[in-house]
Amino acid sequence: DYIFGDWSSDTTGYLVLDECYRFKNRNSLRSNYLQDLSYLFKNVWLLSGMPISKYIDDIYKQLEILYPQIFTSYWRFVGRYCFIRKTDWGDQIVADKPGALEQLKSDLADILIESDYPEHIPGWEPHIVSCVLPDAQADIYRELRK
């Protein structure tokens, strides 16, 4: 996880969280800590190649971190996008509703307007770091390059 920006209370700077699928558990200490931390930043970005691993409810906590004033009820979210089975042990998510992802994208389009994006995104500052690999690692590296 990477944290950039100003830690003061004037809500400036950026909070960039990589591999955000790790924050899908709405009850975990890590997810709740990051949600609290996100209030200190003007811009919060979550990065992931796979934000959903099973059902669409996996993305709820991530959206709550980004938009806590909009995503206020997990079970309302689940009721909109997932099928629920009532059991003796409580409610269980059994599947996504047909077209759930498209519906979520449509719902998010109403939230994500251009004004949500920062006007100035800092540029990249690449740095080349040279290092000498031990022979065993150098052999593996050469194999990978082939």
pLDDT tens by residue, 69-124 = 889 999 999 999 999 999 999 899 999 999 999 899 888 887 766 555 566 666 76
Q: Are the CB atoms for 60 and 78 separated by under 8 Å?
A: yes
Is the per-residue pLDDT at 1 higher than 50? Answer: no
Q: Which residues of 123-133 are buried (b: 16+ CB within 10 A; e: fewer)?
A: eeeeeeeeeee
Is the per-residue pLDDT at 23 higher than 90? Answer: no
Q: Are the CB atoms for 9 and 22 separated by under 8 Å?
A: no
All residues at 6 or more sequence positions from 58 whose CB lies less than 8 Å from its CB, including other chains: 21, 24, 51, 52
Closest Cα partner for 96 from 72, 109, 78?
Answer: 78
pLDDT value, residue 82: 95
All residues at 6 or more sequence positions from 110 whose CB lies less than 8 Å from its CB, including other chains: none
pLDDT value, residue 6: 46
Which burial class, exposed, middle or buried, applies to 52 when counting CB atoms under 10 A from its CB (0-12, 13-18, 19+)? Answer: middle
